[in-house]
Every structure is written in structure tokens, then in C-alpha cells.
Amino acid sequence: MKIMHALLLSAAMSGSVAAQTVTLEVASFPDLDRGIKAAIPLYQEAHPDVEIKLVSLAFGDHHNAMTTSLATGSNLPDVMAVEVGFIGKFAASGGIEDLSKPPYNAMQYQDQFARFTLPQATGGEGNLAAIPVDIGPGALFYRQDLLQKAGVDESAFSNNWDAFIEAGKKVKEKTGAYMVAHAGDLKDIIIRSDLEDGEGIFFDKENNSLVTSPRFEKAFKVAKAARDAGIDAKVKAWTSEWTEGLRRGQIATQMMGSWVAGHLANWIAPESAGLWRSKQLPDNVYASWGGSFYAIPAKAQHKHEAWEFIRFLALNKSMQLEAFHKLDAFPALVTAQNDQFLQQPIEFLGGQKARVQWKEAADRIPAITVNKYDTIADEIVNAELDKVLLHDKDIKEALADAHKLIKRRVRY
């Protein structure tokens, strides 16, 4: 009798708990997951009935795991973090909710986000795959001390690419430092220049490759000129040679997302605090590096709660500011971008108010479209650039070959 009673009681209790609490599974990766960790207590204040389970894997593992889950349609989280490099692929997969449709109707928030972000997350069929939480406006970081030592005019050296390469020669001659990590970095920026809203980097709307356009020709020419001038260290970003080069002041400039300032300050080159400065990218280019989004898988268990949580992360100003202040994640939400925090000097950059500059860049970055074949095209263009840099292959020929290879590989 007593046992029966206890059983009934526990059954009743678990029943009532199950009716109220929803466990929302969120899959993310470092450092983005720190934003989730900060959000959980704040979110639960308003939503005590929602429990949030965070599953965080390393960057590459996370996207591999999500690809596997989408492939098999199992083990999918309710909220899925997606880095911008994978959006094209995931948006084309059909396994992600289209947030532009009801019940989400996310296009109503279009004007609240940095203008280039939603097109980045839009698939070929006009489906909106994800909502942005942070962005990476591009900037040119440079070692002021090295440039001064070489007698380079700080205000003019990034006006155009010729000036940039000339400055690089002076820096190399006077200080021994390389101007850039890799000649390919210049190519990566130039292929993103002169783009209009609605254009893609590698493809037009009909999936035709654009790699034989003057944009790519100029990019290859400048990269080759930098290599011939001996101003690139021939090291790829994120290798140990690269971090060591930045740490020892052997690499004088780095063009990347504004977030790289945090990496430099925290672990790559903390000793060089105060020596770095930030500037807009050379030749009036505005581009973005990285950027994080959240999506809802079509087979998610709790879509309604997932959408509520994503809206909290992306559209709640105080949450966006929390991530901005604490993690230095540049907000995608425009109202959060206009915060006082912009005016705060950055110690690592010698007290420069660089966030104002990054905000200006964010406003000017064109709304380019993504294609699920972008990674393949990027791989092919890099392979052809290697041939130009290492074997003096003719640039027009290399680009024509890249065009052929892309056409061959983009099969379906």
C-alpha cells in the first residue's frame, strides 16, 4: 500500500515536471559557446520552464558532427550554431528550417541586423537558414613601431595596392620584417572588392563561375607582385610559424576580422600591446571575416522554444551587449552596435577607438550572396594561385584553368 502510494506520487511528480520543463539542446563551438553560457542564467530568469543543455565541440568537429546529424536526420540539436563558411552548404541542404516563412517570419527583422548578414545566410531558393549573432568586419592591423622605423607614411600606405607593396619593401629593408603573412591574403581581399549587393564572390546567380573576371586578375597580379617583392612570409594563418612571426614582430601587418585583435591581445602576441593599430582595409575594400549564426534543424524537437531562444540571443539588445562587452563579439544587431562601448579606447591598440572604425566598415560591407560551391571554388583558386606564385604560371591561363576546373567540379 505504501509502495503503491510512493509510486503514484513519483509518477504524478514526474508527469507534472515533464509537462512544464522543456530541455532545449544547443550545439555550439568555442568561443561562441561562451555567449550561450552567459545567456543561460539571464534567459532562465524569464523562462524558468526551459532548461538549456549546451553541447560544445571544437570548431571543425562541431561542423562535422552537424553534417553527420543532417545526413542521418538523427541526434539533431534544437539550436545549431553555424559559422559563415558552412552556411552556404547547410542552407542548400534542405535540413534546416526556412526562417523567412511562418511561424518565424524573420524577414521582419531584416533592418535590425547588419545589412550584409541575412544575404549571407540565404540559400539558393531564397530560404533564410539562420540568424546572425556576431560579425567580423575586416580591418588592417599593423605594427605602428615597425612602420615608423621604416619611415613609412602611416596615413597613405594603404591608399592603394602599389603604395602598400612599396611600403612593404621599405619595411623589409629597414626592419627585416615581412609586410604580410602570405601573398594569398592580398588575393583574398581583392576578390572581395568592388562587389555590389546581390553579387557573389565566385558565382553569379546561375552558378556560372566569375573567376576570369578582372577582379580575380587584379587579385592574382597583386599577390604575385607581393611575392616577387619578397614582402610575404609565405606562412598561412593559424600555423605556428604565423603566431611566432606575429609574436616576434616578423610580420608587420595582418588583415582579418576585427576579432583578431582579441586573439593578438590574449594569446598570440600579448607582449606587443600598444604597438598595434587598426585601419580600414587597403584600396577602400570593405569585407567581413567570419561571423556566427544560429539555425533550427527541420527535425528539431522544440522549434518554438528554439526560436524564442535564438531571438533572445540575436535580437535582445542587452544580450548582444553582454556578448559585446564581455567577449568582444561584434554584435550583428544594429542597435547594439550603436552602444557607448564603441567609444571606449582599446588598450592593446594604443588607446585607439577602433570599434568606431569597425562599425563604419560593418555599414559598408556589401550584401554578397553565398553559394554552396564557394569552398570548392576557393580551393581551386588557391591551387591555381600556388602555380602562379611558385611556377610563374601565366595569370590569364591560371584563371582560365580555374574556370575549367570549377565547371568540371560543380557537377550537380
**Residues of the shown chain interacting with another protein in the complex, contacts defined by CB under 8 A:** 59-60, 64, 67-68, 70-73, 85, 89-90, 92-95, 233-241, 244-245, 250, 372, 375-376, 378-379, 382-383, 386-387, 389-391, 408-409, 411-412
User: In 3D, which of 133, 130, 132 has the Cα closest to residue 92?
Assistant: 130
Helix (H) or strand (E) holding 140: strand 131-143
* Nearer to another protein (CB atom), residue 68 or residue 266: 68
Q: Is the CB of 67 or the CB of 144 nearer to another protein? A: 67
Q: How far is the CB of 352 from another protein (least distance, A)?
A: 26
* Shortest distance in whole angstroms from residue 220 CB to another protein: 15
Instruction: Tell the smallest beta-carbon distance from residue 32 to another protein (Å).
Output: 13
CB 123 within 8 A of CB 95: no
Cβ proximity to another protein: between 157 and 203 the closer is 203
Residue 186 contacts residue 256 (beta carbons within 8 Å): no
Per DSSP, helices labelled H in 150-239 are 161-175, 183-190, 214-228
| Contact predicate 335/314, CB 8 Å | no
Instruction: Give whichever of 86 and 330 is closer to another protein, judged by the CB atom.
Output: 86
How near is the Cβ of 303 to another protein at its closest, in Å?
A: 17
CB 70 → another protein: shortest distance, Å?
A: 4
Query: How far is residue 380 from each of residues 122, 210, 287, measured CA to CA in Å?
Result: 24, 13, 21
Q: Which residues contact 359 (CB under 8 A, 6 or more apart)?
A: 137, 337, 338, 342
Q: Which is nearer to another protein, 2 or 411 (CB)?
A: 411
Question: What dihedral do alpha carbons 348, 191, 98, 412 form, nearest 10°?
Answer: -140
Please identify, using beta-carbon distances, which residue of 217 and 244 lies nearer to another protein. Answer: 244
Residue 38 beta carbon to another protein: minimum distance, rounded to whole angstroms:
23
For residue 300, give the nearest of 17, 22, 29, 20 by alpha carbon.
Answer: 22
